[in-house]
């Protein structure tokens, strides 16, 4: 695949820096002092149990949940609290936990809606990569299976030049075969774009990610190379419930 998402200068260094991020919802502290970095051209995993603050972290980066404190910078540019449409236009793609596919639109309409500048060639390349979608282009997205919807959601995030892809629980609710295909596709995507991946499926995250952070009750409790966490059984068991 060649989606031309990263320039040569962007292929090394730091894409995203989340610095001491705090988020409250009402009186409730959802995130407290979360700090993380996503290196250019790498896949960084954000792990943790349900309710640990992973989704809120992504939403806050994307401008969907306003932070109470801290800073988010994207290629050195402060994007803290910027509205989501501005964040997206900087080249940040977002695949939410519930896929966010528009079920009343066809697959083609879902893709065309997302494309900010008409680029048929790019659209063709994306459809080539997600080859299962080709015969489904004129089907209403509401009739697709969970795996197919997930493909639409990721494909939709790639129809514009994307410098950072935020992916929230992509394997959730998918059959094992669909998870395998998803892993193949995300492995292709990470060759071209920086990926910040929230995932409950530890083994999928271990396969894709180079670096990881573990959140627990809204705080960062672990940071390190993915390989180290794979070897650290105690941390896995304590914070992820994975032996």
Partner 1 sequence: MELKVVVSLLLQGVSLGMLYFLIASGLSLIFGLMGVLNLAHGSLFMWGAYVAMTVYGLTGSFALGLVGGLLAGAALGVVLETTLIRRLYGNPVGQILLTLGLILVLDETVKLIWGPTLLPYPKPAFLAGSAEVLGRAFPHYRIFLIVLGALVWLVIHLVLNRTKVGLIIRAGVEDREMVTTLGIDVKKVFTGVFALGGALAALGGAAAGPFLLVYPQLGLNNLFPAIIVVVIGGLGSFTGSVIGGLLVGVTQSFVGYYEPQLAVAVNVALMALVLLVRPHGLLGHRGV
Q: In what order do the strands lie in the sheet with 92-95?
A: 92-95, 164-168, 194-198, 43-47, 211-216, 219-225
Work out which of 105, 137, 183, 242 binds partner 1, going by CB under 8 A: 105
Residue 1 vs 112, nearer CB to partner 1: 112
Map residue 50 onto helix, strand or coil.
coil
Work out which of 85, 120, 138, 243 binds partner 1, going by CB under 8 A: 85
Give CA–CA dist 234/113, Å, rounded: 46
Residue 63 vs 218, nearer CB to partner 1: 63
Give CA–CA dist 145/156, Å, rounded: 16
- 214-238 burial code (b ≥16 CB/10 A, e <16): bbbebbbebeeebeebeeeeebbee
From 19-27, 108-116, 124-132, 187-195, span contacting partner 1 (CB under 8 A): 108-116
Give CA–CA dist 190/41, Å, rounded: 7
From 36-44, 101-109, 190-198, 230-238, span contacting partner 1 (CB under 8 A): 101-109
Give CA–CA dist 71/102, Å, rounded: 31
Residue 15 vs 153, nearer CB to partner 1: 153
Cβ-proximal residues to 199 (8 Å cutoff; 6+ apart), any chain? 45, 46, 47, 167, 169, 170, 171, 205, 208
Nearest-approach distance from CB 165 to partner 1, in angstroms:
12
Task: Tokens 């795996």: give the residue.
Answer: 147
Nearest-approach distance from CB 239 to partner 1, in angstroms:
29
Residue 109: CB atoms within 10 Å: 15
Residue 18 vs 95, nearer CB to partner 1: 95
Nearest-approach distance from CB 105 to partner 1, in angstroms:
6
Annotate each residue in 113-132 with x if it binds partner 1 (CB under 8 A) or - if it does not, as one string.
xx-x----------------
Task: Tokens 């991946």: give the residue.
Answer: 197
**Per CB under 8 A, 84 contacts partner 1:** yes
**Per CB under 8 A, 69 contacts partner 1:** no
Contact positions with partner 1 (CB under 8 A) in 140-199: 156, 160
Residue 43 vs 62, nearer CB to partner 1: 62
- Residues that bind partner 1 in the complex, under the rule CB under 8 A: 62-64, 83-85, 87-89, 94, 96, 100, 102-105, 109, 112-114, 116, 156, 160
């Amino acid at each position: 695949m060649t989606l031309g998402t990263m320039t040569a200068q962007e292929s090394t260094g730091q894409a995203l820096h989340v610095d001491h991020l705090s988020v409250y919802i009402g009186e409730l502290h959802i995130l407290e002092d979360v700090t993380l970095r996503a290196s250019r051209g790498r896949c960084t995993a954000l792990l943790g149990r349900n309710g640990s603050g992973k989704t809120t972290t992504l939403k806050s980066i994307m401008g969907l949940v306003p932070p109470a404190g801290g800073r988010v910078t994207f290629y050195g540019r402060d994007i803290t609290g910027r509205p989501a449409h501005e964040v997206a236009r900087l080249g940040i793609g977002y695949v939410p936990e519930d896929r966010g596919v528009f079920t009343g639109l066809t697959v083609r309409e879902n893709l065309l809606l997302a494309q900010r500048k008409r680029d048929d060639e790019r659209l063709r390349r994306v459809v080539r990569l997600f080859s299962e979608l080709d015969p489904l282009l004129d089907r209403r997205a509401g009739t697709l299976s969970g795996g197919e919807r997930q493909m639409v959601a990721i494909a939709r995030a790639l129809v514009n030049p994307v410098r950072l892809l935020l992916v929230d629980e992509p394997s959730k609710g998918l059959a094992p075969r669909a998870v395998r295909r998803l892993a193949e596709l995300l492995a292709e995507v990470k060759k071209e774009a920086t990926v910040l991946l929230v995932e409950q499926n530890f083994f999928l995250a271990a396969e894709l990610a180079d670096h990881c952070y573990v959140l627990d009750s809204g705080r960062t409790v672990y940071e390190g190379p993915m390989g180290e966490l794979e070897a650290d059984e105690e941390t896995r068991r304590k914070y992820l419930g994975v032996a």
